[in-house]
Amino acid sequence: MTRNGRVRLAVAFAAMAAVAISLISFAPQASASVSLPAGMANYTVAVGRVDAKVRTNWQRLATYRFADDGTVTEEHWHWTQSRRVKRSYTGVQATKCPARDCNIQTANGFQSKSAPKSLSGTFQVSDDVVRIEWDGDQWEEWKISTPIEGKLARLAFHRSNFGATHGFGYGSQADLTDRASMSELAAVDHTELKHRFHFWKTDNGKPYVDVGFGSKFWMTDWELCGGGKCLSGESSTPTEYYVAAPNSSTVDRRDTLWHWQRGLADGRGEYCYTGNSHVKPMMQILDSDGGFHGWVGIEASLSQTSPGTDSDDVGLFEISRFAV
C-alpha cells in the first residue's frame, strides 16, 4: 500500500471512531436509582414547632412520596397560633354512641376534599438519616429506623432550617389512598398502642410544653357507632371521645380525634360542646401489607372563646405500637 493509501485509511478509521464515540455519547443512559428511606416510598408525617418560648407555634400534617429518581413530593394541612380560626364540622354524626350524639368536630379546614398546600424537592439518604431539600431553600432531616423489617419504616425528626422542633413519621409501600376502615379500627386492641406527645399549654398565663411517652392513650375502650362511620367512648370523668374521618367521603389516610369534658358543655347549657374542645387531625400508619399500627397527629385547639393564646392547646403526637 502506498503512503497516501495508508494516510487515507488512517483518516477513515479516525472518522469511524469519532462517529462511534458520538453515538455512544448521545445514546440514552439508564439513570442511577436513589435509595428510598428504608426502602419505603409513602409516608404520613406530623411536624411542627412546639416551643414554650413563643406563641407562634405551628403544626403541619402531611403525606410524603419519595421516588427512586431522588425527588420527593409532599401535600399538607397547616395550622398556626398566628392565624386564629374556629373549629370545623366533619358532617359525621355520632348516633347511638357511648358519647353524646354530636356532629364531630375537627381542626379548621381539615374536612376539605384534599390537602390545600404542597411542596416538592429532592432527598438523599446517608446512613440512617434522610435529608430533604424543598424548592425554596428549606430543608429538613429525619433519622430512619425499621420497626417492622421490610414492611414499615419510622422517621424521628432530627433538625430543619425553618423552625420545626418535633416530628413523627411512618412509611411503607402501601398506597396513601389505602386506609383502615372504622370497623377495622374498632377491632384493634387499643391497649397495645402507646401515646407520645409534645403539647404547648399555659399555666396561669405561663407557657410550657407538656411531654408524655410510653403510656396508653386516655381512651382504649372504643365502640363502633354512627352507622359504622365513627368510634366513640366515654370516660369516667366523664369525657366524650370520638374518632372519625374528617368528612363523609374520605379516601385517604385521614382521621380526626375529638374530645371534651361533658361538664364544660353542661356548664354552657349545651348538649354538644361548642367551646374549646380538643381537635386533633391524624394520619393512619399502615405497613406494606395494609396492617394498621396507629396514627401520627397534631393538635390545633386554638381558643375560640377568649382573645389571645392563653387557652390554646397545640402540638404533635403519635398513638402507635412503636411510640417510644
Residue 29 pLDDT grade (very low, low, confident, very high; cuts 50, 70, 90): very low
Cα gap 25→9, rounded to integer Å: 24
Residue 105 pLDDT grade (very low, low, confident, very high; cuts 50, 70, 90): very high
Is residue 209 a part of any domain in this protein?
yes
Work out the number of other CB atoms within 10 angstroms of the CB of residue 157: 20
CA angle 228, 234, 237 (to 5 degrees): 165
Tell me the residue length of the chain: 324
Cα gap 283→285, rounded to integer Å: 7
Name the percent of the chain lying above pLDDT 90: 89
Is residue 291 a part of any domain in this protein?
yes
Given a cut of 70, is residue 187 above it in pLDDT?
yes
Q: What is the pLDDT of residue 32?
A: 66
Given a cut of 60, is residue 256 above it in pLDDT?
yes
Is residue 193 a part of any domain in this protein?
yes
* pLDDT tens per residue, range 282-314: 999 999 999 999 999 999 999 999 999 999 999
**How many distinct helices (H) and strands (E) make up the chain?**
3, 19
Positive or negative torsion for Cα 75, 81, 82, 87: positive
Q: Is 221 helix (H, G, I), strand (E, B) or coil?
A: coil
As a whole number, mean pLDDT of residues 67-92 equals: 98
Residue 116: domain span = 37-320
Given a cut of 90, is residue 197 above it in pLDDT?
yes
Is residue 22 a part of any domain in this protein?
no
Number of domains composing the chain: 1
Q: What cell was used for 11?
A: 483518516
Mean pLDDT over the full length of the chain = 93
Given a cut of 60, is residue 110 above it in pLDDT?
yes
Is residue 212 a part of any domain in this protein?
yes
Q: What is the pLDDT of residue 2?
A: 52
Given a cut of 70, is residue 28 above it in pLDDT?
no
- Residue 198: beta bridge partners? 211, 316
| Neighbour-count burial for 188-224, b at 16+ CB within 10 Å, e otherwise | bebeebbbbbbbbbbeeeebebeeeeeeebebeebeb
Name the percent of the chain lying above pLDDT 70: 90
Residue 27 pLDDT grade (very low, low, confident, very high; cuts 50, 70, 90): very low
Is residue 1 a part of any domain in this protein?
no
Is residue 4 a part of any domain in this protein?
no
Q: What is the pLDDT of residue 33?
A: 85
20-29, 145-154, 283-292: lowest mean pLDDT where?
20-29
Given a cut of 70, is residue 66 above it in pLDDT?
yes
> What is the pTM for the complete model shown?
0.90
CA angle 117, 121, 122 (to 5 degrees): 150
Given a cut of 60, is residue 18 above it in pLDDT?
no
Residue 324 pLDDT grade (very low, low, confident, very high; cuts 50, 70, 90): confident
238 preceded by a cis bond (ω within 30 of 0)? yes
Is residue 30 a part of any domain in this protein?
no
